[in-house]
Structure 1
Amino acid sequence: MSKKSVEKVVIKLFFFSVFLCSAGSAIAEGRCPPGQYPIGDSRAPGCAPIPAGGSAADAGPRATGRWIKTWGAIAMSNSGASGVSVGKVKKSDAEKAAMAECVGTGARDCEIAFTYKNQCAAAATAASGTQGTTFGRAATVDIAKTLAIDLCRNRGGQGCDVVYSACTEPKFEAF
């Protein structure tokens, strides 16, 4: 065999291997066209589109930023006056707002009774049997209420009832 004929054979083999590689990727999903995959069996063959890898909710741009946890506070006085705050970024801001609301009622002996961060809170009082307010904090307002009432009853309270409940919700700060 001459050198030219060897070169021709090598070139033909090269193009044949390129053809096989490209044909292999075209039929990579079996009997289906590109972008689809086989479904069914030999009795009822079919093709379905390959999923894009997300849902409709994932489509489109997303905001970038971070979630900021927030604080809530309850201030109370011996006279029964109270003040509350929720959704404050700093604990001190939540306490100041609750104190300002309590003092705004005319009470002079307001004190912070309860603070909570990124959760729900509830306050319960008893009709009789115990004095004072009991508090509960939890992931949901229903659980916080249950905790406050249970604590009120455990302290000997009769007719315990929730007098306040709220949740601090995180805030989204966009970049």
Structure 2
Amino acid sequence: MYPIGGQGVQGCAPIPGAAGAQSSSNTPAPPRPTGQWHDAWGAIAHSKSTSLVGTATAETSRRSAERTALKKCAVEGAKDCTVVMTYSNQCFAWVVPRVVGPGTQSGMAQAPTMEEANELAQKECKDGAGDACKPFYSDCAEPTFERF
């Protein structure tokens, strides 16, 4: 409501569109949400000294995904595990060279689809024989929908 009638308030009128105000029968009600999306997180942790790896997927937060990956990496005794990648609501691919040697490197990528993630990871990977790299780990952290 808002005052009407000049300096000496003589009455109140409804604010158009406010709750309690009469609405036209032609005006549709605003849509109500039918649910809520929840993010999903994944993470990869790696130990350079032992080559151990820890992974996490379908976690509810970045922090939770990183903690889980670090814990899994350290389970066999690695003391130098570090998070090398986190991803949310995306796919992740890690490919490694089939032939290891000078100048070789693995490739990691995240993308909306697994196909895209694999393609991007292959572009990053360098194999000693010049061949395509082999898959090492892949995952999709897909969001979930909770209906109301």
Higher share of residues assigned helix: 1
Residue 124 (structure 1) aligned with residue 95 (structure 2): yes
Residue-by-residue CA offset, 1:54-76 (whole Å, 9 max, x unaligned): xxxxxxxxx93201121110000
Q: Answer whether contact 1:130 1:157 (CA < 8 A) is retained.
A: no
Deviation at residue 132 of structure 1 after TM alignment: 4.6
**C-alpha spacing 1:131/1:80, structure 2 compared with 1 (3 Å):** farther
Once superposed, what is the RMSD of the aligned Cα atoms?
2.1
Structure 2 Cα separation of the partners of residues 157 and 168 of structure 1: 32
Deviation at residue 157 of structure 1 after TM alignment: 7.6
Structure 2 Cα separation of the partners of residues 89 and 164 of structure 1: 21
Match of 1:82 in 2: 53
Secondary structure, in 3 states, of the residue corresponding to 2:125? Answer: helix
Secondary structure, in 3 states, of the residue corresponding to 2:42? Answer: strand
Q: Alignment partner for residue 146 of structure 1, among 107, 119, 126?
A: 119
Moved over 3 A (4+): 129-133, 155-159
Aligned AA (2:121): A
Match of 1:42 in 2: none
Aligned AA (1:74): I
Question: Taking structure 2 as the reference length, what is the TM-score of the superposition?
Answer: 0.68
Residue-by-residue CA offset, 1:115-172 (whole Å, 9 max, x unaligned): 111000001111224355321111111111111111113x878442220000001122
Question: Taking structure 1 as the reference length, what is the TM-score of the superposition?
Answer: 0.58
Match of 2:40 in 1: 70
**Structure 1, unaligned runs of 5 or more:** 1-62
Structure 1 Cα separation of the partners of residues 103 and 58 of structure 2: 31
After TM superposition, the structure 1 = structure 2 runs for residues 12-161 of structure 1, keeping only pairs within 5 Å, are 64-78=34-48, 79-126=50-97, 127-128=99-100, 129-153=102-126, 158-159=130-131, 160-161=133-134
Higher share of residues assigned strand: 2
Provide the identity percentage: 36
**Structure 2, unaligned runs of 5 or more:** 1-32
Q: Answer whether contact 1:148 1:162 (CA < 8 A) is retained.
A: no
Aligned AA (1:121): F
Q: Answer whether contact 1:73 1:115 (CA < 8 A) is retained.
A: yes
Match of 1:35 in 2: none
**C-alpha spacing 1:157/1:174, structure 2 compared with 1 (3 Å):** farther
Match of 1:162 in 2: 135
Structure 2 Cα separation of the partners of residues 132 and 97 of structure 1: 26
Secondary structure, in 3 states, of the residue corresponding to 1:116? Answer: strand
Q: Answer whether contact 1:116 1:137 (CA < 8 A) is retained.
A: yes
